[in-house]
């Protein structure tokens, strides 16, 4: 039951002992594994049916969950894929390396007593627990991407709904079959977490609590993906939107939480948990693992909803995610056979109401205004043609307009005194981080589908008949995508640059100034709320890093058969590289003097953090004798080195792609 047509219905279990009905594919070579999985599920089903003494309800449960044909097919076929094996191995390798690095960095020299060893182990466990949740939030959409795109074809749904499978079996089979691999990742890390107990300082409650938070986060993400698939409105493009929504939700709720705490609206005196804690898995994990810094309300001091959100945020997150998942599954079960939300589409082929509202004609009109093409038509096509639809135009300019207005509003509120130094710096950091994360996902999605999409629709075959060379083709892709992303990058970089210029002008005589007093090892130091050189240093790293993400996406788009596989591979590689470099740079900037800030500038996230919170991000250099000026100089040199490194990597990847372009294209010729 894949995304290609099916030409006949055959007896399920052909060639094996079994019964029931299955589907024979039009292209048996592509769909052989799926049919085998369905046949195996039918065999297991028949084995159960040979026991007439089994209660009807128990037999119904067995058919619904453990012997669900769709779940068995997904698990059986997915287990044969080496990609899943590589993902599990890389996932465990990253966690092991980070745990070892965290322990070694915290141990230091000399002998340690048991108390210090327990403290270091607890801190390392907290760090790796956050990392596991972050990786799960990244990998869960990767494994669930197939649920969104694979069954999005109307022909696939039409064939699937002719089988004897019930609506519950269809929905739960897709959910359980795809969640199996994510749960397997989490179970594989349980021994690693258990090893931290040998050092002391880590309780079983913390271990299982962190696993419960991650498990319910995975369940919620999975049910949302299945609901998108069942709606029939989702397609391959929805995978990217799925990523953006997950990242944006986490960033927005975390930013609101910081604002509420700084305003004194949290529990335990105003600095504890807030209303956002129970609806964000990372905040719930903070309440579980760091109760001293993020306390809950004392037992019995609240009632009603406040009792759930302020006294038991972890429990509320788990129960809330479970209830919401059940609701989505029930809705999906009732709508899977009625066409989903696809019924809301305009079936008569007329102009949709939202296009009429903005004065647009019907989609697919045969005429349009003439356009001026650049010297490199590939670059022009990537930069200009992506704004050819109403939705893309609105989404792009809405992001630019809302992001720019929000950045200016932050600066105005800070200037008039409505925001303190701490509130402004925290809000600015969350805004820039969140916008850069969204833009990076946009770059990855666009680059990873730039070539594989053309291979799928046959456009690449036409382009290869033109005088266009591989070098001009690939450089045009890179240039066009960067040109398209520049207005988007102007939002976070412009916000940060505007704040830097504001500080450079001494806050335009702001009451209270723009300096923060910091107590360090050499006495009290005055630190600006934003380093003035951030307007130049941040673009120096962000732009080459974006080009690196685009080049990696183009490489996998050229090598992959379809858009889904190229997006998944690009997200995995960029996430692993940026995560490892960012985490190592973050730790080095804080703990290593002199050269540490330079290492922290190798990744945009720690660089932006150092530009806004230099006393924390570069603490060892600022307070260890080097001073703030030394830290700033090291950070600027590191940013320059990072720009050179990323440019060299981009050039190397492009040169390699040019050399192997013809061979790769011929190898995948005709693939759809």
**What ranges do the domains of the chain cover?**
81-339, 375-667
Angstrom distance (rounded) from CA 312 to CA 318:
10
Contact in structure between 503 and 529 (CB atoms under 8 Å): yes
Q: Which of these, 347, 2, 362, 374, lies nearest to 157 by C-alpha position?
A: 2
Q: Using the 8-state DSSP alphabet, how is residue 305 labeled?
A: H
Contact in structure between 186 and 28 (CB atoms under 8 Å): no
- Per-residue burial over 172-194, b if 16 or more Cβ lie within 10 Å, else e, is bbbbbbbbebbeebbeebeeebe
Percent residues over pLDDT 70 in the chain: 76
Q: Which residues pair with 280 in a beta bridge?
A: none
pLDDT digits (tens, 9 = 90+) for 309-332: 998 899 999 999 999 999 988 888
Angstrom distance (rounded) from CA 448 to CA 567:
5
Q: How many other C-beta atoms can be found within 10 angstroms of the C-beta atom of residue 466?
A: 10
Contact in structure between 481 and 650 (CB atoms under 8 Å): no
Angstrom distance (rounded) from CA 600 to CA 595:
9
Band (429; pLDDT cuts 50, 70, 90): very high
pLDDT digits (tens, 9 = 90+) for 519-553: 765 567 788 999 999 999 999 999 999 999 999 99
pLDDT digits (tens, 9 = 90+) for 392-422: 777 788 888 898 999 999 999 898 888 888 8
Largest CA distance in the chain: 86
pLDDT score, position 520: 63
Distance of CA 292 to CAs 123, 272, 310, 669, Å? 13, 9, 15, 60
Give the DSSP letter string of 37-99: HHHHHHHHHHHHHT-TTS-HHHHHHHHHTTT-HHHHHHHHHHHT-HHHHHHHHHHHHHHHHHH
Three-class SS state of 582 = helix
Give the DSSP letter string of 333-371: HHHTTTTGGGGGS-TT----HHHHHTT---TT-S-----
Angstrom distance (rounded) from CA 488 to CA 492:
8
pLDDT digits (tens, 9 = 90+) for 271-315: 889 999 999 999 999 999 888 888 888 888 888 888 889 988 999
Helix/strand number for the chain, H first, E second: 26, 4
The answer on pLDDT for 148 being more than 60 is no
Higher-confidence residue of 471 and 561: namely 471
Q: What angle do CA 437, 443, 447 make, to 5 degrees?
A: 150
Angstrom distance (rounded) from CA 433 to CA 31:
42
Element (H, E) at 10: strand 6-11
Angstrom distance (rounded) from CA 491 to CA 404:
6
């Amino acid at each position: 039951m894949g995304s290609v047509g099916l030409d006949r219905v055959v007896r399920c279990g052909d060639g094996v002992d079994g019964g029931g009905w299955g589907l024979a594919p039009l292209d048996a070579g592509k769909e052989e594994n799926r049919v085998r999985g369905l046949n195996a599920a039918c065999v297991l089903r028949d084995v159960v049916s040979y026991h007439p003494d089994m209660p009807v309800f128990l037999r119904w449960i067995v058919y619904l969950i453990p012997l669900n044909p769709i779940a068995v097919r997904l698990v059986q076929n997915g287990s044969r894929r080496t990609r899943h094996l590589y993902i599990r191995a890389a996932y465990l390798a990253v966690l092991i390396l980070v745990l070892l690095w965290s322990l070694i960095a915290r141990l230091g020299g000399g002998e340690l007593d048991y108390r210090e060893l327990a403290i270091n182990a607890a801190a390392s466990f907290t760090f790796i627990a956050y990392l596991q949740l972050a990786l799960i939030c990244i990998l869960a959409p990767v494994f669930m991407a197939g649920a969104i795109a694979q069954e999005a074809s109307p022909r696939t749904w039409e064939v699937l709904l002719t089988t004897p499978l019930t609506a519950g079996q269809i929905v739960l089979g897709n959910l359980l079959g795809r969640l199996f691999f994510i749960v397997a990742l989490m179970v594989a890390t349980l021994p690693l977490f258990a090893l931290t107990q040998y050092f002391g300082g880590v309780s079983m409650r913390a271990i299982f609590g962190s696993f419960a938070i991650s498990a319910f986060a995975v369940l919620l993400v999975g049910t949302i993906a299945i609901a998108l698939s069942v709606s029939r409105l989702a397609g391959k493009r929805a995978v990217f939107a799925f990523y953006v929504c997950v990242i944006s939700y986490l960033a927005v709720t975390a930013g609101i939480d910081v604002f509420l705490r700084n305003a004194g609206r949290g529990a335990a005196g105003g600095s504890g948990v807030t209303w956002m804690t129970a609806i964000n898995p990372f905040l719930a994990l903070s309440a579980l693992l760091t109760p001293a810094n993020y306390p809950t309300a004392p037992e019995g001091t609240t009632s009603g909803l406040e009792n759930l959100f302020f006294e038991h945020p972890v429990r509320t997150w788990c129960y809330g995610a479970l209830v919401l998942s059940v609701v989505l599954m029930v809705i999906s079960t009732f709508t899977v056979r009625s066409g989903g939300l696809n019924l809301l589409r305009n079936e008569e082929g007329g102009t949709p109401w939202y296009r009429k509202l903005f004065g647009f004609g019907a989609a697919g009109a045969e005429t349009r205004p003439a356009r001026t093409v650049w010297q490199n038509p590939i670059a022009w096509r990537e930069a200009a043609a992506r704004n050819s639809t109403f939705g893309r135009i609105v989404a792009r300019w809405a992001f630019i307009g809302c992001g720019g207005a929000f950045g200016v509003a932050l600066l105005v509120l800070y200037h008039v005194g409505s925001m303190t130094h701490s509130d402004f710096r925290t809000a600015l950091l969350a805004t820039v981080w969140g916008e850069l994360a969204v833009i990076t996902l946009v770059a990855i999605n666009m680059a990873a589908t730039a070539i594989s999409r053309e291979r799928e629709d046959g456009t690449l075959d036409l382009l290869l008949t033109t005088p266009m060379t591989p070098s001009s083709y690939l450089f045009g892709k890179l240039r066009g995508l960067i040109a398209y992303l520049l207005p988007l990058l102007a939002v976070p970089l412009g916000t940060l640059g505007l704040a830097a210029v504001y500080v450079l002008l001494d806050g335009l005589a702001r009451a209270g100034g723009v300096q923060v007093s910091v107590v360090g090892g050499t006495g009290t130091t005055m630190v600006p709320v934003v380093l003035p050189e951030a307007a130049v240093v941040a673009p120096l790293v962000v732009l080459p890093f974006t080009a690196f993400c685009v080049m990696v996406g183009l490489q996998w788009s050229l090598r992959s058969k379809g858009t889904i596989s190229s997006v998944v591979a690009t997200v995995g590689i960029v996430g692993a590289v940026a995560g490892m470099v960012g985490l190592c740079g973050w730790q080095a900037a804080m703990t290593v003097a002199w050269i540490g800030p330079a290492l922290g500038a190798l990744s945009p996230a720690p660089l932006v953090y150092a530009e806004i919170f230099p006393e924390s991000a570069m603490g060892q250099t600022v307070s260890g004798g080097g001073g703030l000026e030394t830290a700033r100089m090291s950070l600027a040199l590191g940013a320059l080195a990072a720009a050179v490194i990323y440019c060299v990597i981009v050039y190397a990847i492009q040169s390699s792609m040019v050399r192997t372009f013809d061979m790769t294209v011929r190898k995948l010729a005709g693939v759809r």
